[in-house]
Amino acid sequence: MKARLKQHWPTVALLALFVVLRWPDLLKLPNFSMAYALVFCAAAFPRRLPWWSVLGVMVATDLALNLFHYHTETLFSDYQAVNYLAYAGIFVLGRFFDARAHLGKLIGGGLLGALLFYLVTNTAAWLQNPEYAKTLADWFRALTTGTTGWPATWTFLRNTLLGGGLFTALIASTLQATEAEAPEPEESEEPAKEGEPSSEEQKA
């Protein structure tokens, strides 16, 4: 029992940290989120970080924030649906990475996942926002400077990549370290030598 608790505490701790960090404006950096890394690592570490636990916590916190903090009329908005589409893409990307890979490679994958999230969500904003002309030039503007009166969108890209890289490093290093400490499965009993009674025969 103690071995199982020791094995699962990192997953519980990481999910608890994610819940705390989801509180709006706690980090004071827009788009600096643990979500991209968490989804990526759920795909790369399926035994240590089950996808259903990550999805359940993300949906539960989104619904709770919409209901009790933002007081929105709908519990699940269109932009959140786009976010989950981007998360699905990050998860597919993460499946191409192995939990035993070098930490640098996993961090690179986390950065790619964060970049994918930024491209998907900002492309959706370009399509939905009437201030953007539906041209390649304005799509590039949506990815770099954005609309007037708002911070330049490249700053959101910077924060997205920072979150993706730093939190992937934290999650992946934690899970790899605890994986190395996990007890090895017990070896099966050696077969009885010829002429000696087997363990079943000895118990009879």
The domain that holds 103 is classified in CATH as: 1.10.1760
CA-CA-CA-CA dihedral for 1, 34, 77, 69, to nearest 10: 80
Compute CA distances 35 → 25, 85, 116, 151, 180, whole Å.
15, 13, 13, 22, 25
Query: How many separate domains does the chain show?
Result: 1
In a domain, 172, yes or no: yes
In a domain, 121, yes or no: yes
Q: Which of 119-128, 151-160, 194-203 comes out lowest in average pLDDT?
A: 194-203
In a domain, 19, yes or no: yes
Q: Please give the sequence-ordered ranges of beta strands (E in DSSP) within the chain, or none if there are none.
A: none
Q: Residue 174: give the domain boundaries.
A: 2-182
**Residue 159 is which amino acid?**
N
In a domain, 75, yes or no: yes
In a domain, 65, yes or no: yes
Q: Is the pLDDT of residue 181 over 70?
A: no
Please tell me which of 2-16, 19-33, 114-128, 188-202 the model is most confident about, judged by mean pLDDT: 114-128
In a domain, 204, yes or no: no
Q: Which candidate, 57, 50, 3, places its Cα nearest to that of 34?
A: 57
- Contact (Cβ atoms closer than 8 angstroms) between residue 160 and residue 90: no
What pLDDT sits at residue 28? 84
